[in-house]
Amino acid sequence: MAAVTHIDSSAVEALKELYQEYKARDIQLAISNPNKDVHMTIARSGMVELVGKEWYFVRVHDAVQVCLTYVQSSNSEEQKEPSFLRRFGNNGSGNNSSYSDIQPGNTLLKEALLSGEK
């Protein structure tokens, strides 16, 4: 979304409708690299809570890596964890971490757009 310099309430509503449509089809929406103004408008609209802050990314590369991992794990017959976050949201030390610590394969995701702290 780096090329998007402004977003108004109509665009936010369109994004919400798109999210609902995709959700009905089991498609996950991910937001990557919005500029500060766009991010603030989306955050104020409640869109972050709707989509889930784990689906907002600073870098397009990180979004693509997480989405690929999500699709691969969803298609796997051996999927033991029902939730993407339960499977990848733990750094192995027994305590929850933010998704910025996720390491799918050999790829280290660098930075989350939204921190887990309020």
pLDDT one-digit tens code per residue, 16-69: 999 999 999 989 999 999 899 999 999 999 999 999 999 999 999 999 999 999
Q: Is 49 domain-assigned?
A: yes
Q: Is the pTM of this model over 0.95?
A: no
Q: Which pLDDT score is estimated for 101?
A: 45
Residue with structure tokens 């500060």?
Answer: 36
Contact 66, 102 (CB under 8 A): yes
Q: Which domain holds residue 56?
A: 9-101
**Dist. CA 49–CA 114, nearest whole Å:** 11
117 within domain boundaries: no
Q: CA-CA distance, 74 to 83, in Å (whole number)?
A: 9
State the distance between the two ends of the chain, measured CA to CA, in whole angstroms.
Answer: 24
Domain count, the chain: 1
